């Protein structure tokens, strides 16, 4: 526990040093927003409740000031969001139980976008990670692993992004998008000490998955997943720092996620 706290403190200190110059301005790094905004266009699973808003007040009040407020509702899983381990693993962490040191950390980005151009059902394999490591070195401990399939460019076109624009249970069989192969998920869980994983598609398992084995394997090891992540093509293979902060829903199986990355300037 002491070692984990020390690592987190050092990471936070390093981040602040990168982010702020001596004058106190954010000048020494580039911030990348990895979050799709939430609106009526936001993509949700075909069977999930979509994002909705209802205006409850907009205009000048009887006291003379302007006031604008809305209610919103949505499923826990949709848009840029986090899957907590409890989602597919009984007794594992809920959203509010995921510690900050799993949500803030150094990122590695694996780009398989060339492979998905001709295969929407591509599943990221162990070999893809080994090829990445051959160039970039072993995935460091406590990394946040991000998988760039190239699919963020289709957002919010449901047909191109998911393989279908239909809704309801009948649409499930028509889903086509890339994901993580269960064997690769198992390899990561057993051989690499990662904090979290994320990708730019609706699910960590590919669209045609029936058993969601990648989810199950990762979540049994308390590794949360970020889904529908944006702008991964703007990040380098390594060297950026990710901040992935979900709505802290007590007991939640998932939650909307605001995720950003800092690319520090070279010294």
Q: Is 215 a catalytic residue?
A: no
Q: How do beta strands 104-111 and 238-246 pair?
A: antiparallel
Distance, CA of 234 to CA of 113 (rounded, Å): 13
What are the chain's domains? 2-48+76-264 (3.50.30.50)
Instruction: Inform me whether the pLDDT recorded for 256 exceeds 80.
Output: yes
Q: What tens digit of pLDDT does each residue of 82-128 get? A: 999 999 999 999 999 999 999 999 999 999 999 999 999 999 999 99
Give the global pTM: 0.90
Among the options 87, 176, 181, 215, which is catalytic? 87
Choose among 261, 108, 95, 260: nearest CA to 192: 108
What is the distance, to the nearest Å, from the Cα of residue 112 to the centroid of all Cα atoms in its chain?
Answer: 16
Who's near 214: CB < 8 A, 6+ residues apart? 179, 180, 181, 182, 184, 185, 204, 205
Choose among 72, 112, 261: nearest CA to 201: 112
Q: What tens digit of pLDDT does each residue of 139-178 get? A: 999 999 999 999 999 999 999 999 999 999 999 999 999 9
Per-residue pLDDT, averaged over 199-204, amounts to 98
What is the distance, to the nearest Å, from the Cα of residue 221 to the centroid of all Cα atoms in its chain?
Answer: 17
Mean pLDDT of the chain: 92
pLDDT class of 15 with cuts at 50, 70, 90: low
Distance, CA of 254 to CA of 73 (rounded, Å): 14
Q: How do beta strands 194-199 and 179-180 pair?
A: unpaired
């Amino acid at each position: 526990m002491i070692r984990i706290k020390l690592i987190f403190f050092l990471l936070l200190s390093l981040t602040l040093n990168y982010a702020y110059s001596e004058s106190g301005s954010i000048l020494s790094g580039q911030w990348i927003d990895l979050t799709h905004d939430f609106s009526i266009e936001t993509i949700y699973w075909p069977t999930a409740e979509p994002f909705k808003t209802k205006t409850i007040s907009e205009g000048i009040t009887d006291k003379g000031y302007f006031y604008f407020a809305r209610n919103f509702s949505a499923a826990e899983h949709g848009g840029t969001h986090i899957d907590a381990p409890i989602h597919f693993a009984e007794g594992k962490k809920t959203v509010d139980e995921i510690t900050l040191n799993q949500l803030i950390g150094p990122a590695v980005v694996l780009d398989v976008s060339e492979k998905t151009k001709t295969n929407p059902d591509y599943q990221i394999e162990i070999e893809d990670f080994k090829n990445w490591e051959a160039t970039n070195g072993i995935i460091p401990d406590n990394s946040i692993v991000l998988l760039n399939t190239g699919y963020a460019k289709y957002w919010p076109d449901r047909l191109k992004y998911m393989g279908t624009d239909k809704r309801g249970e009948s649409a499930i069989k028509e889903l086509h998008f890339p994901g993580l192969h269960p064997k690769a998920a198992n390899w990561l869980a057993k051989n690499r000490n990662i904090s979290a994983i994320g990708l730019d598609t609706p699910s960590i398992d590919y669209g045609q998955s029936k058993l969601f084995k990648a989810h199950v394997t990762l979540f049994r090891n308390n590794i949360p997943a970020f889904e529908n992540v944006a702008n991964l093509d703007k990040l380098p293979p390594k060297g950026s720092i990710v901040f992935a902060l979900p709505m802290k829903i007590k007991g939640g199986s998932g939650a909307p996620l605001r995720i950003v990355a800092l690319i520090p300037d070279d010294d």
